[in-house]
Chain A
Amino acid sequence: EPEVTQTPSHQVTQMGQEVILRCVPISNHLYFYWYRQILGQKVEFLVSFYNNEISEKSEIFDDQFSVERPDGSNFTLKIRSTKLEDSAMYFCASSEAGIWFFGPGTRLTVL
C-alpha cells in the first residue's frame, strides 16, 4: 500500500540553525501539506501546496518557513532560523479523493 514517508525521523538542532524536513508524498497525489504538533497539543495546519505553489497557509507559517517541491517526488519544509518554540512533531500529508494520508512525522528538537 502506498504511503507518505518522512526523513529524518528525529532532528536535533541548535537555536538559530536552519533545518530542512523532507517528505515523499504518495506519487499520484496533487495536494501536499505540512502540519505540526507541539508536544501534548493539537495538530496544527501550517501550509498546503498545489501545482507548485502555496495554496493556503496559516498564521504560524511566517517568513522563517518555506516549502519546496525540488523534484518530482520530494516535498520539503525549511525553517530558516529555528527557535525553541519550533520544537514539535512535523507531519507531512498528501491527499486524493477527499482523504489525507499522513506520514509518520519528524520530531524536531531545538536546543
Chain B
Amino acid sequence: AQSVTQLDSQVPVFEEAPVELRCNYSSSVSVYLFWYVQYPNQGLQLLLKYLSGSTLVKGINGFEAEFNKSQTSFHLRKPSVHISDTAEYFCAVSPHPGRRALTFGSGTRLQVQP
C-alpha cells in the first residue's frame, strides 16, 4: 500500500515570491508521482508527473517538481507565484501509471496574497 503526506495544509505567500509545497510518500514498491491542482469549484487538473527519467520534471504554469528517491519526496516549486495560482494542490502516487488507483495526499491550500 502507498501513502502520501503533505505536511502543510495551508501555505500563504505574497505574489511574485517563490513557493515550495512539500510531498512525502511511503511505498513498498516503486511508484509514479503526480501533482494535481484544484481551482475553486473545479475538478482536478494535472500539473506534472514523474514516470521515469530525469528527476526534475517541469509542468504547466511554471511549476516544477523534483523526485528524490532517498528522501521519498516529490516537492513542488515555483520561482514566482501569481494571484491566479491560488488553489488546492494535491500530490498523488500510484504503483502503476494509468492502471492502478491513485493515492492522494490531503492537499495544500496555496493562498497568494497581493
A-B contact count (CB 8 A): 61
| Across-interface contacts of B34 in A (CB, < 8 A) | 100
Cα of A102 to Cα of B104 in the assembled complex, Å? 13
Distance in Å: Cβ of B22 to nearest Cβ of chain A: 15
A45 to B103, CA, bound (A): 7
A58 beta carbon closer than 8 Å to chain B: yes
Tell me if A18 is interfacial: C-beta within 8 Å of chain B.
no
Which residue of chain B is the closest to A44 with respect to CB atoms? B104
CA distance A35 to B94 in the complex (A): 14
Chain B interface (Cβ < 8 Å from any Cβ of A) = 32, 34, 36, 42-46, 49, 51, 90, 92, 97-107
**A-B contact sample (19 more), CB < 8 A, given A33-B101, A97-B98, A100-B98:** A31-B98, A35-B102, A35-B104, A42-B104, A43-B102, A45-B102, A48-B99, A48-B100, A48-B101, A55-B99, A56-B100, A98-B97, A99-B49, A99-B98, A100-B34, A102-B36, A102-B44, A103-B43, A105-B43
